[in-house]
Amino acid sequence: MTVDQWMGSTGVALLLAGFFMNQFGYLDAGARTYQSLNAVGAGLACYASYLIGFIPFVVLEGVWTAIAVFALMRPAARDPGLPS
């Protein structure tokens, strides 16, 4: 596996882990943990997409990263990530 494949796979795994935990009630969508998984996962997937030259996913994952980082900066983000 190449570096871009490892990076993209790790990013997607983080995104899916956060989504799974949110959907099954293990992690609240407003939690810093959830937003951190989104920010790091989307950032890795964005860079991996850039490395392979797939611009539509660069845009998608770049926007996803920006939104997650913005959500992390809001004071309403709470921990430990459990449903309230």
Query: What is the pLDDT, as a whole number, of residue 38?
Result: 97
What are the distances in angstroms from CA 1 to CA 5, 8, 46, 47, 54? 6, 11, 18, 16, 18
How does DSSP classify residue 2? -
pLDDT, tens digit, 9 for 90 and up, residues 23-79: 999 999 889 999 999 999 999 999 999 999 999 999 999 999 999 999 998 876 555
Query: What is the pLDDT, as a whole number, of residue 75?
Result: 72
